[in-house]
A and B are shown apart, each in its own frame.
Chain A
């Protein structure tokens, strides 16, 4: 769909460019303005948040943020989110990457589908069995066990994600490259670790990022399984509205902090992310 060359090509391309930027502006208002509104609200006082949105000159304050760390053990919740999302991402990669490789090389779509089941079942379905398990192993009273259980539970989110995201990347590695190592007498495992894995590195970074974000965002399992020492950010966000307290500023500050890692990741890893998300679709 490239522009054909012509005498007035430069003029046309400038006009077209203007049109594209106009569309950019419209879509930015629709899809990005609410995020900005969240950020702005988190910097306003409660009485202003429920007041007019046209009072753009109303005073800004960091109080909502400082209050988060004073009223709650907020640093701990951030740490918890990192432990659970990070742990489940690592574990998801450890289990998912070799599986994705075999699904591609052995052509085992059935196995791929099996892991997809996790993605299709309603989350509530897992909650009661997981909770029963947590009580059986006495997880609620042990912080270490609690983290371990949360990490394992979040595998339901991260492992299928890692497998699907990596399948297209492994598919792109020509089989001939691996064959050449056969001559050196490398076994399957060596072919995987020495040849396939390094070539799939861009895919690994995508899988890591997205697994982390999705695991970070998921609240249902943590609501059911976490104890006070292991509660992650997402569950805490609910606590700002209750009887006799309407802390919209705190709520928006917490929401902003919850979204922050994902936002930062998009800034830094955007190029890979786009490719990862679209990888399987566009072949």
Chain B
């Protein structure tokens, strides 16, 4: 028996060792950090630069990249098991900030930031910094900005003799005109319908009407406001009447693919998607795109703006090396370099720099930059209701709006469902 056991274990180890040596890694060195990233334009832009950091600092960075959902699974595993195997991870504080902060998953960055002379945290616009703060603690450093913007097809708009919509009312009427003038051949507007992804693009419809997710007290949902019902009604109508087939299963992936394939005339999506839409290898419409701000309501144009951040796990045992990396990756110099790969810089000094603005060499990129810049002052950083149950609350909103899109609930019924569903979730913030 012993022979068998040892044989088996030895074999397994030998297999591992063999290839392990081939990889030539020094196991668990002290100046080595583990970084987990999501498949994202920022990740694709920073990866080639990491070598520079390793040479400058002597810290080795072990990178792991996953699709967004798989990254969340992996990050959660590390945090829930209090693992020190992950030092730095890409964080979406607007989504999981309070949830993670309550479980003490984030290492607060305040003391690191104040101890770094050249870092200049004030360089980040206030809205961006607010997005990275939970309970007055900075939990992550911003790496990009993205906002909901309206993409449109210049060629089709010329053909149909239309101008891009500037108000919410025009958005619907333009969509109707496209449907009419294309004889239903073109999808007028691609937008999100998948429940957990929908609040990002639905929020602007609410905020532009002057309604926040919650009332002043932050624990009473605001969906008993008639303007919230209006917002649901408009979003559901747009999606049902003028959106693509099967819209309730759509998120950026499907919307972007539709737009790139030339099947949609307008798209409400993250400003990030510009990179795939302008890639001639996957987009048929790379030369015909335009971008405008989210249409204005009574309260003006109030899009959703969010930043991804880099956070340090509180269970990391190499926090100083981890901070070195965060400091480098979110410093002005690197953010300047990242703009060359189309990453919208969160730092004002970079966004306003001559080097950056002159690099925006197409009409589309100029429009895109203007829209993003104005979004940083007018946009709301609340992608959904803020709270420890943020993911769950977004699902409640998305499910209800989804039912309205499908025509299984009226806008008023959906609003009531959200109002009732959110209340107990928001109450969790108190406890």
For the side of the interface on B, what is the size category?
35 or more
Q: Mark A127-148, 1 if CB is under 8 A from B, else 0.
A: 1100110110010111111111
Q: Mark B48-74, 1 if CB is under 8 A from A, else 0.
A: 000000000000001111111110011
Contact B283 A143 (CB under 8 A): no
Question: Is A278 part of the contact surface with B, judged by Cβ < 8 Å?
Answer: no
Q: Which of A140, A239, A243 is the one whose CB lies under 8 Å from B85?
A: A140
13 example contacts (A-B, Cβ-Cβ < 8 A) are as follows A50-B261, A87-B11, A135-B85, A141-B27, A144-B20, A144-B27, A147-B20, A231-B64, A238-B69, A242-B38, A244-B41, A244-B274, A246-B257
The 4 closest A-B pairs by CB, nearest first: A147-B16, A242-B39, A140-B85, A144-B20
Question: Is B241 part of the contact surface with A, judged by Cβ < 8 Å?
Answer: no
Given known A-B contacts A224-B73, A247-B282, A128 and B81 have beta carbons under 8 A apart: yes
Q: Mark B18-44, 1 if CB is under 8 A from A, else 0.
A: 011101010110001010001111001
Contact B85 A246 (CB under 8 A): no
Interface-lining segment among A31-39, A91-99, A115-123, A170-178: A91-99
Given known A-B contacts A91-B12, A224-B74, A227-B62, A141 and B85 have beta carbons under 8 A apart: yes
Q: Which of B15, B74, B253 is the one whose CB lies under 8 Å from A83?
A: B15
Contact B253 A223 (CB under 8 A): no
**Please, which residues of chain A bring their CB within 8 A of the CB of B283?**
47
CA distance A277 to B39 in the complex (A): 39
CA distance A241 to B77 in the complex (A): 22
CA distance A86 to B28 in the complex (A): 26
Given known A-B contacts A141-B85, A144-B13, A245 and B44 have beta carbons under 8 A apart: yes
Whose C-beta in chain A lies nearest to the C-beta of B65?
A239
* Chain A, interface SS category: helix
CA distance A137 to B276 in the complex (A): 41
Contact B261 A51 (CB under 8 A): yes
Contact A143 B83 (CB under 8 A): no
Given known A-B contacts A141-B27, A244-B272, A83 and B16 have beta carbons under 8 A apart: yes
Contact B253 A241 (CB under 8 A): yes
Contact A143 B77 (CB under 8 A): no
Smallest CB separation, A63 vs chain B (Å): 9
Question: Is A102 part of the contact surface with B, judged by Cβ < 8 Å?
Answer: no
**Please, which residues of chain B bring their CB within 8 A of the CB of A90?**
11
Whose C-beta in chain B lies nearest to the C-beta of A227?
B64
Interface residues of B (CB under 8 A from A): 4, 7-8, 11-13, 15-17, 19-21, 23, 25, 27-28, 32, 34, 38-41, 44, 62-70, 73-74, 77, 80-81, 83-86, 252-253, 256-257, 260-261, 270, 272-276, 281-284
Q: Mark A26-64, 1 if CB is under 8 A from B, else 0.
A: 000000000000000000011100110000000000000
Given known A-B contacts A50-B257, A243-B41, A128 and B66 have beta carbons under 8 A apart: no
Smallest CB separation, B249 vs chain A (Å): 14
**Please, which residues of chain B bring their CB within 8 A of the CB of A140?**
34, 83, 85-86
Q: Which of A79, A95, A127, A244 is the one whose CB lies under 8 Å from B276?
A: A244
Question: Is A68 part of the contact surface with B, judged by Cβ < 8 Å?
Answer: no
Smallest CB separation, A223 vs chain B (Å): 6
Contact B63 A243 (CB under 8 A): no
Question: Is A156 part of the contact surface with B, judged by Cβ < 8 Å?
Answer: no
Residues of A within 8 Å of B, CB-based: how many?
50
Interface residues of A (CB under 8 A from B): 45-47, 50-51, 79-80, 83, 86-87, 90-91, 94-95, 98, 127-128, 131-132, 134-135, 138, 140-148, 151-152, 223-224, 227-229, 231, 235, 238-239, 241-248
Contact A242 B73 (CB under 8 A): no
Q: Which of B21, B68, B81, B282 is the one whose CB lies under 8 Å from A243?
A: B68
Contact B16 A144 (CB under 8 A): yes
Contact A143 B68 (CB under 8 A): no
Smallest CB separation, A217 vs chain B (Å): 16
Contact B67 A94 (CB under 8 A): no
Contact B70 A152 (CB under 8 A): no
CA distance A98 to B44 in the complex (A): 49
Contact B28 A142 (CB under 8 A): yes
Smallest CB separation, A197 vs chain B (Å): 14
Contact B65 A87 (CB under 8 A): no
Contact B39 A243 (CB under 8 A): yes
Given known A-B contacts A94-B8, A227-B62, A239-B65, A246 and B253 have beta carbons under 8 A apart: yes
Smallest CB separation, B129 vs chain A (Å): 23
CA distance A142 to B284 in the complex (A): 45
Contact A243 B65 (CB under 8 A): no
Contact A246 B282 (CB under 8 A): yes
CA distance A241 to B86 in the complex (A): 24
Contact A143 B282 (CB under 8 A): no
CA distance A135 to B84 in the complex (A): 8
**Please, which residues of chain A bring their CB within 8 A of the CB of B4?**
94-95, 98
